[in-house]
Chains A and B, each alone.
Chain A
Amino acid sequence: MNLYGYAGGDPVNFSDPFGLSPCCLLGGADAIVQEAIRVTKIEHEAMLEYAGQRAASNTMLIMGGLEAGWSVLRAGVGIARNLPQASNVTEQVAFKSLFSGAGRELAGGASGVTFRDAGRIASTYGGRAADWAKMSSAARWTDRMGRQFETHWVENIHTGVKVEAKFKLVKDVR
Chain B
Amino acid sequence: MIVKCIAELPTRDQAKRLGEHYRAGKQAFGVVPGTEYIVFALKTLGGEPWVEITDSDLNPGYLWGVPLCLFEIVNPRLSALWEARLAKNGELQLSPPSFGRDYYHDDLIEGVDEVVADFRRVRQELEKEADLHRRAASLRAVLS
Closest to B43 in A: A112
Given the contacts A102-B28, A171-B57, A114 and B43 also touching, CB distance less than 8 Å: no
Is the pair A134, B102 in contact by a Cβ cutoff of 8 Å?
no
Answer whether residue B89 sits at the interface, using C-beta atoms and an 8 A cutoff.
yes
A-B contact pairs, 8 of them (CB 8 A): A103-B28, A104-B28, A106-B106, A112-B87, A138-B29, A152-B109, A157-B23, A157-B26
Closest to B23 in A: A157
Is the pair B91, A112 in contact by a Cβ cutoff of 8 Å?
yes
Answer whether residue B30 sits at the interface, using C-beta atoms and an 8 A cutoff.
yes
Is the pair A106, B20 in contact by a Cβ cutoff of 8 Å?
no
Residues of chain A whose beta carbon lies under 8 Å from any beta carbon of chain B: 97, 101-108, 110-117, 134, 136, 138-139, 152, 155, 157, 160, 170-171
Is the pair A110, B45 in contact by a Cβ cutoff of 8 Å?
yes
Contact residue range for chain B?
Answer: 20 to 34
Shortest 8 CB-CB distances between A and B: which pairs? A138-B30, A138-B28, A102-B28, A107-B106, A113-B105, A116-B103, A110-B21, A104-B64
Q: Report the number of A-B residue pairs with Cβ-Cβ less than 8 Å.
A: 78
Residues of chain B whose beta carbon lies under 8 Å from any beta carbon of chain A: 20-21, 23, 25-30, 43, 45, 50, 57-59, 62-65, 87, 89, 91, 102-107, 109-110
Chain A residues closer than 8 Å to B25, beta-carbon distance: 101-102
Is the pair B65, A113 in contact by a Cβ cutoff of 8 Å?
yes
Closest to A118 in B: B106
Given the contacts A112-B91, A113-B105, A114-B102, A102 and B27 also touching, CB distance less than 8 Å: yes
Chain A residues closer than 8 Å to B64, beta-carbon distance: 104-106, 111, 136
Given the contacts A114-B103, A157-B23, A104 and B45 also touching, CB distance less than 8 Å: no
